[in-house]
Structure 1
């Protein structure tokens, strides 16, 4: 009899443990979806910002000459990237209070009155849906250094340690290479001839979005970190008119990004491990139109980028 009771107790405990693990997994999967819907537009925007401003002309610096630049990006967020429709059908354990659907803000969106509720380990819980930053544009500054290489080639590097702008943390670094092809079909080099070049660049862009803490029975969340790797392939053309230059480019971006949630709780490592399985990636075409003005060793550049986001890049350059 004692043996049978022990076996029954073991089976009962195993069933309770399995149920608890299943509920925790369901909660983690639901929070994955909440995090992805919130952060994914931010990752896409980061990819566009990190691809902007690499090269502002198809001409190249003379061999071993340097150009030191300070750039500022302004990313403009379309309405479709500021909010997303969600339904109770999307979730396993969570549901909206008093509603079947809700329009939730992304990281760029505004505030929301939507409330999630659920039940885990026999305990009811609820939390407010994450409010966005209410930012229709995101400003991001960074420095860059360019050096002329042999064979009408130049290399650019950029690095920005972690800074906070408009309640958003940024960190970026990267390297780009550009080669001028005009040299192959123009017998004599004239700086005011139409210039044609191609470029490739790699950049890493980290962005940290903080939000009001979400408190769950096994999880407390207050931040989402996005780590984006981006490759840019681009063809460029430019035409100089005395001290004024017109610039245009067509490019393809290939990005890969992953997420990490910040906070505390026994389920946080499980959530972040699961997030590694939903890394995002994508390719986008982009077009650039820019104008440069030369004054002595200085150049003032402006560039307008159109893709799934719209970005404006302004730069001040000094040639050494």
Structure 2
């Protein structure tokens, strides 16, 4: 009887040991996925904030009450080389290894389409997949509509909306609204010299999604096929401008603060265990970030139209052009 009990304990301890080993392997896999997610997506979400900050203010002048304008804009973001790739090594991972190498350089979401294989062993089954590609674009261009309405007492309300713009390996969308107030109206000396001073605060929501890790295993698809980031950003802009006949030259300082939210999703209606687990871990990557940038804008008025070009600079470089129609 004693021998039989000892035998059963040995068998049970074997199952417990195996279960603990599998749990540890899954934990290591999720830890590696979290590490890779951070390196892959953050440059793109930082860039999305810069894109959303550009060219909100059409003029630093006081807008006439109930004057309305509607514009079509194109935003051009220049992808810097430093944010297109990152280095990995086997020492960065607990579960995976780089196939056939100790180190490699792989693309971020803003990078090229170079790929390497990562391999690991999950309970005796080989997990092998290609690292995700980037958008492989030197510039990111998206169109949007923007409208503004003059309010009493030198206030102006602004709205912005873009349809979902398809990128290589992903998509991007932004919308938001803002409120501007003109302060030069209180200083006759500034108005006499055609110098304008305004402050504007804006809110924007940016959503950016990328194809991520499509991995099928005996345990099912990992459920990491798409990586989505939603960013809430509050912008603050101080602008000074000078009228030169039909031109207005605007110089601005912009500060913004952003909150980031990340989520992965699979290619089926049923979420996998891995998808649920990694989504519980992704808040570790979420952060609140401040950005500071400068902006130079040129506006040219003709008839009931005005053309505008804005150049935003700081950590990134962004160009915005637009044509607007004014209704008095």
Given candidates 97, 101, 104, the residue that maps to 2:99 is 97
Deviation of 1:42 (Å): 0.7
Deviation of 1:98 (Å): 2.1
1:239 aligns with 2:246: no
Q: Which residue matches 1:227?
A: 230
1:307 aligns with 2:307: no
1:77 aligns with 2:84: no
Q: Does the CA contact (< 8 Å) of 2:62 and 2:185 recur in 1?
A: no
Change beyond 3 A, Cα 1:179–1:142: same
SS of the residue corresponding to residue 275 of structure 1 reads helix
Q: Does the CA contact (< 8 Å) of 2:136 and 2:168 recur in 1?
A: no
Q: Does the CA contact (< 8 Å) of 2:144 and 2:163 recur in 1?
A: no
Q: Which residue matches 2:259?
A: 256
| TM-score, normalised relative to structure 1 | 0.92
CA distance in 1, matches of 2:83, 2:39: 10
Give the alignment of 1:265-304 within 5 angstroms. 265-304=272-311
Q: Does the CA contact (< 8 Å) of 1:140 and 1:165 recur in 2?
A: no
CA distance in 2, matches of 1:89, 1:166: 31
Q: RMSD value over aligned CA atoms?
A: 2.0
Given candidates 33, 36, 40, the residue that maps to 1:34 is 36
CA distance in 2, matches of 1:19, 1:188: 73
Q: Does the CA contact (< 8 Å) of 1:118 and 1:124 recur in 2?
A: yes
CA distance in 2, matches of 1:10, 1:234: 66
What whole-Å deviation, never above 9, does each CA across 1:102-148 have from its counterpart, x for those lacking one?
11111111122422111111222221121211111111211122111
Deviation of 1:220 (Å): 4.6
Change beyond 3 A, Cα 1:104–1:56: same
| TM-score, normalised relative to structure 2 | 0.90
Q: Which residue matches 2:88?
A: 86
Q: Does the CA contact (< 8 Å) of 2:115 and 2:132 recur in 1?
A: no
Deviation of 1:187 (Å): 6.0
Which stretch of structure 1 is more off in the superposition, 54-63 or 298-307?
Answer: 54-63
CA distance in 2, matches of 1:133, 1:217: 30
CA distance in 1, matches of 2:227, 2:146: 27
Deviation of 1:46 (Å): 0.5
Q: Does the CA contact (< 8 Å) of 1:156 and 1:176 recur in 2?
A: yes
Q: Does the CA contact (< 8 Å) of 1:258 and 1:276 recur in 2?
A: yes
Q: Does the CA contact (< 8 Å) of 2:146 and 2:160 recur in 1?
A: yes
What whole-Å deviation, never above 9, does each CA across 1:274-299 have from its counterpart, x for those lacking one?
11222133212111011111012211
SS of the residue corresponding to residue 95 of structure 2 reads coil
Deviation of 1:19 (Å): 1.7
CA distance in 1, matches of 2:141, 2:212: 19
- Tell me how many residue pairs correspond in the alignment: 319
CA distance in 1, matches of 2:31, 2:181: 47
Which stretch of structure 1 is more off in the superposition, 45-54 or 6-15?
Answer: 6-15
SS of the residue corresponding to residue 224 of structure 1 reads strand
Q: Does the CA contact (< 8 Å) of 2:197 and 2:241 recur in 1?
A: yes
Given candidates 140, 144, 147, the residue that maps to 2:146 is 144
Q: Which residue matches 2:179?
A: 177
What whole-Å deviation, never above 9, does each CA across 1:156-185 have from its counterpart, x for those lacking one?
112234342555322222111111110122
Deviation of 1:37 (Å): 1.1
Deviation of 1:7 (Å): 4.2
SS of the residue corresponding to residue 47 of structure 2 reads helix
Unaligned runs of 5+ in 1: none
